[in-house]
Each structure stands twice: as structure tokens, then as C-alpha cells.
Chains A and B, each alone.
Chain A
């Protein structure tokens, strides 16, 4: 919530020429009101500060999942038309890794953010915040990360430590240094 407080404070503190005239170098554009910012600002970072109020249960999520998600992602999250959501723990370092919410996603907040903005594929942003909490909780439950009786809210998702939380590294590229041979080379340069 800190970001919003900062914005409100600044808008109040900075005098503007008209009700909505921008005051930058070019003076092009209109000031976005705190109300407009609040209604557009839906992204949720791992710190959870932009998560909405509300809560729901894993049990409620089971019903919503069956109605809204199972057709594409499978009754048990095993995948189908949509991505596999469940399983894959311990496979990332094998020749056949299975990347799911449980095995790969580093933050539970991302699950809420993505379901709310983009799911279900045929009707994004049709679920209420409570429904998104519920179904996020159920997918986490299917992955063994929340109990069947769990209640899901902003705190639950922010505090949950995902199994692959520390599985990501920064980009070291350029990482492949070509032999750069130009005459009478071993032919591995052109074929696998």
C-alpha cells in the first residue's frame, strides 16, 4: 500500500494549473487521478502490497476450479489444452523437467496476479478477487503447499515460500564462446 500513499501525498502536494493539465516540459497529457490509478493498477509483486482485500477457502477454490479451470488444465491440474499445474517436484535437473506452479514458480503472488489478469483464457478478468484467492489457493493445495482447510488471503500468498523460490539465477551471457576457427576446423561448428 506504500506506493498508493506516496502517490496520494504527491498529488495533494503538487499544485497543478488546471484540474487535469499536465505540467511537464511539453505539457502534454493529463494528470491521472488517484482513483484512476487505483482502478488500473492491478499488478501484484512478491511483496504483496497491491493484493486486494478479501479471503477465501481452498474448498471454495475446488468448486471454482472445477467450473472454470479443469476443462483446460485437467481435474487434478495434470494439464491438457492448458499448462500442467501440478507435480514435477524434483524434475528440474533431469533430462525431462516438468515446470509447474509447484515445481517452478518462485512466488505465489504471481499466481494470483496471473489468474486475475489472464484466466480463464476465454474470459479473463471475469473472476472476483475472492474467487481468484480461492482458485489460487486450490492450485497451491493440489501442489501440496496449502492444507485442504486453508483460508487464503494476501498474507497467505505473500508469506508462502514456494519450493523453487531460490531456483533462479541472473543472466551470465555471453556464456558461449565460439572456437572462432576459420581454416581447416573441426566441423562441430556447423552441425550438432
Chain B
């Protein structure tokens, strides 16, 4: 005998099934503080290119501010004819743009041990969403740029007053001032009520809780673009203004912490993406990198967005290492970790886009082959 379930209206904003309660953001235990910290997307539990808003990765530098969209203002000033203040409702009146793009922290993943066990531990500081907002170009034209304008300094209204300098070219290209994510207003942890979005650039630059844009001649050299988010090399120099998130991929199934049920058919699944444009192809190795085969790319394949790939595999029950590598539309191929370390050493901290290998044991147990 069956009985009626929950009535309509029992939950006016729905939750996932209680049987999926383990699919949540991944927060490192025992951090010294959680005000400037991160949480990771559970990549291994996601089947599509859109990350649900409640599972989108977070990186905050001064906690999550509670901002009322009715009182929030965005200032646009500096080398413009007309310095302007916008309310959120005013920003929503401009012609709108909707795009699907990934966002990724440049510290994803680490260059050093421990490398983490699961796909989320390793590479969970990437997510992808459909963003809606106004093109930053539209606002800059509204204010009218003055000669000498070369950079735009973006500043957040959070307690860290997050500040990054963005090249004007990017601002006039595909930069968005976003107010909605996956169709609903931004979540507080994603910058409510308004954030910057710079497709393909390191996530830190897509300043959340955006309160000010200042058009300038030269970068401001904020703490986040000097002391942090710079890439130290073996010779002691550091790369600065390293914005681009290069092509990357990861197998999410089977991946670390999972177990293959037994020999036979296994569909290898994963995500690939590139800050330089579309993913052109993904190659998968099931023999530790000796041979590589082309995976199928699932539609849609979008510029600067997560792209899903699959490859059918007959596992023979023997231990092996599986891995994927992405090639983007510029022809750039995701490098092996050894190739990356040979050029950058292991103190660069940011922009590690190396191939992620998973070890498959005879019992089907999958673990991180880098660990």
C-alpha cells in the first residue's frame, strides 16, 4: 500500500533528495580560520556542465558579506567622461547578456603534496554556470572612456575590499557585470548582488560584491596581484599578471575514492575546459600514458565552458593508470605534470593545469596516482 507524499508547498525552495545528502561542497578540515578560505565543488558527483548554485566552489578573502541589493551601488569612475553610480535595478535595465562559462581558482590544483584523494580534493576549485548580466563594455561606453585608459581596477564591497587590475582589452571584450547565475539572482557566496565575470581568467579577478570600477592608465599592483596570485619560478623571479586559465581536464568517473564494480564495461567520464576558447578534443589513456585515444565530446561544446567527455572502456581487471588530456582550439595541449614541473618548478603555486592520473587497483579501487 502506498500513501501520499509531501504536499505541494512543503518546500517553497527545493532541496536535493535526502538520499543525496553527501553531495555537498568539500571544505578542508582544521583550517586555522575560515574567513579567508575555500570550499570545493564535488566534481565526481556531477553529471553535467552546469554546476548547481549550491555546489559552486567558493573562495572568500574576508567572509561572505550580507548586502542588500536595494542599497548597493556600483561606482564607475577614473578615466571616463562621466563618473557614474548604478543601482542594481539600473544595471538590470541595460541590454542583458547570458553566457555559460567556467570559473576556476588559479590555485587549482596544488603543485605539492598532499595532492588529495578525490577529484574534488584535487581539482574542485572549478565550476561552471550560466551567467546573466550586462556587458562591461556597455557600461564603459555609457561613461565614455578618456584617452590613456588601459586598465580597470575592480573592487569588492566585502571585508577584504578585494582589488584586482583588469586589462581594458578584456573589459571591452567579454567581461560581464553579472547579477544572475543559472537563472536566479547570485547567491551571497557568489557575490550578491553584483559581481565581475572575466571568462577564462583566474577566478580571483572576477571580483564579487563589486562596488567600484576605476579606469586607470596602469595596474594598481594590489596585494592580490603582487604578494599573491603571482607565480614564483626556480630562478627567484615571479610571473605577474598571469590571468589565463590554460586547457585542463579531469576524469571524474572512475576517480579517486570510487571503486569499479568489476571487469567489463566502464564508461570513462570527465570534464575539459580552456580559458582560451573551446575544447577541440580530449584524449584518454587507460595504460598509464603509453597510448591515447580520442574521447567523445558531449554537446554543447562552448567557449570557456566546461565540456563533458566520455570514452567506453573494457577494463580487464588488471591494475593500471587512467588519465585525460585536453587540447583547445588554439592547438594547445594540456601537459603532463613532469613537463610542467620541468619548466616552472614546484613553487609556482598557481596555474597548475597538468594531466591528472588515477590509479586503478586490481580490486577496482581508484586512487590518486600522484599521491
Whether the Cβ atoms of B335 and A176 lie closer than 8 Å is: yes
Residue of A nearest to B83 (CB): A32
Which of A23-31, A59-67, A137-145 participates in binding chain B? Answer: A23-31
Chain A residues lying within 8 Å of B159, measured Cβ to Cβ, are 118, 121, 124
28 A-B contact pairs sorted by A residue (CB < 8 Å): A6-B146, A7-B83, A22-B82, A28-B142, A29-B84, A32-B85, A37-B77, A41-B77, A41-B212, A42-B161, A92-B232, A101-B227, A109-B221, A110-B221, A110-B226, A113-B223, A114-B222, A121-B36, A167-B238, A168-B230, A168-B239, A173-B351, A178-B334, A185-B289, A187-B288, A188-B336, A189-B325, A192-B370
Chain B residues lying within 8 Å of A81, measured Cβ to Cβ, are 32-33
Residue of A nearest to B225 (CB): A110
A69-101 interface bits toward B, Cβ cutoff 8 Å, 1 = contact, 0 = none: 000000000000100000000001101010101
Give the distance in Å from the alpha carbon of A182 to the alpha carbon of B21 in the complex: 41
Tell me how far the C-beta of A112 lies from the nearest C-beta in chain B, rounded to whole angstroms: 10
* Chain A interface, >50% SS class: loop
Whether the Cβ atoms of A110 and B222 lie closer than 8 Å is: yes
Chain B residues lying within 8 Å of A3, measured Cβ to Cβ, are 78-79, 216
Tell me how far the C-beta of B328 lies from the nearest C-beta in chain A, rounded to whole angstroms: 10
Residue of A46, A97, A105 most packed against chain B (CB within 10 A) = A97
Number of interface residues of B (CB under 8 A): 88
A92-134 interface bits toward B, Cβ cutoff 8 Å, 1 = contact, 0 = none: 1101010101001111011001100110010011000000000
Whether the Cβ atoms of A26 and B94 lie closer than 8 Å is: yes
Is A19 in the interface zone, CB < 8 Å from B?
no
Whether the Cβ atoms of B243 and A171 lie closer than 8 Å is: yes
Segment 148-179 of A: residues with Cβ below 8 Å from B: 167-179
Is B187 in the interface zone, CB < 8 Å from A?
no
Segment 305-346 of B: residues with Cβ below 8 Å from A: 321, 323, 325, 332-344
Residue of A44, A176, A190 most packed against chain B (CB within 10 A) = A190
Give the distance in Å from the alpha carbon of A173 to the alpha carbon of B247 in the complex: 12
Whether the Cβ atoms of B339 and A113 lie closer than 8 Å is: no
Whether the Cβ atoms of A32 and B77 lie closer than 8 Å is: yes
Whether the Cβ atoms of A45 and B216 lie closer than 8 Å is: yes
Give the distance in Å from the alpha carbon of A132 to the alpha carbon of B233 in the complex: 32
Give the distance in Å from the alpha carbon of A190 to the alpha carbon of B85 in the complex: 51
Segment 225-262 of B: residues with Cβ below 8 Å from A: 226-227, 230, 232-244, 246
Segment 60-112 of B: residues with Cβ below 8 Å from A: 61-62, 75-79, 81-86, 90, 93-94
Residue of A nearest to B343 (CB): A176
Number of interface residues of A (CB under 8 A): 71
Whether the Cβ atoms of A190 and B321 lie closer than 8 Å is: yes
Chain A residues lying within 8 Å of B298, measured Cβ to Cβ, are none
Give the distance in Å from the alpha carbon of A183 to the alpha carbon of B362 in the complex: 25
Give the distance in Å from the alpha carbon of A33 to the alpha carbon of B171 in the complex: 24
Give the distance in Å from the alpha carbon of A101 to the alpha carbon of B35 in the complex: 22
Give the distance in Å from the alpha carbon of A123 to the alpha carbon of B291 in the complex: 55
Is B28 in the interface zone, CB < 8 Å from A?
no
Chain B residues lying within 8 Å of A167, measured Cβ to Cβ, are 236-238
Identify which of B221, B236, B244 contacts A45 (C-beta below 8 A).
B221
Identify which of A42, A105, A192 contacts B338 (C-beta below 8 A).
A192
Is B369 in the interface zone, CB < 8 Å from A?
yes
Tell me how far the C-beta of B227 lies from the nearest C-beta in chain A, rounded to whole angstroms: 5
Chain A residues lying within 8 Å of B334, measured Cβ to Cβ, are 178
Whether the Cβ atoms of B338 and A188 lie closer than 8 Å is: yes
Is A147 in the interface zone, CB < 8 Å from B?
no
Chain A residues lying within 8 Å of B321, measured Cβ to Cβ, are 190-191
Chain B residues lying within 8 Å of A95, measured Cβ to Cβ, are 347
Give the distance in Å from the alpha carbon of A25 to the alpha carbon of B84 in the complex: 13
Give the distance in Å from the alpha carbon of A139 to the alpha carbon of B188 in the complex: 34
Q: What 7 A-B pairs are tightest by C-beta distance, nearest first?
A: A190-B289, A93-B236, A24-B142, A117-B161, A92-B236, A114-B223, A32-B83
Residue of B nearest to A7 (CB): B83
Extra A-B contacts (9), CB below 8 Å, given A106-B221, A189-B338: A40-B211, A45-B219, A93-B234, A124-B160, A169-B237, A174-B246, A178-B336, A187-B289, A190-B336
Give the distance in Å from the alpha carbon of A162 to the alpha carbon of B78 in the complex: 27
Residue of A nearest to B321 (CB): A190
Whether the Cβ atoms of B289 and A44 lie closer than 8 Å is: no
Chain B residues lying within 8 Å of A40, measured Cβ to Cβ, are 75, 77, 211-212
Whether the Cβ atoms of A26 and B290 lie closer than 8 Å is: no
Residue of B nearest to A11 (CB): B83
Whether the Cβ atoms of A93 and B81 lie closer than 8 Å is: no
Is B301 in the interface zone, CB < 8 Å from A?
no
Whether the Cβ atoms of A106 and B337 lie closer than 8 Å is: no
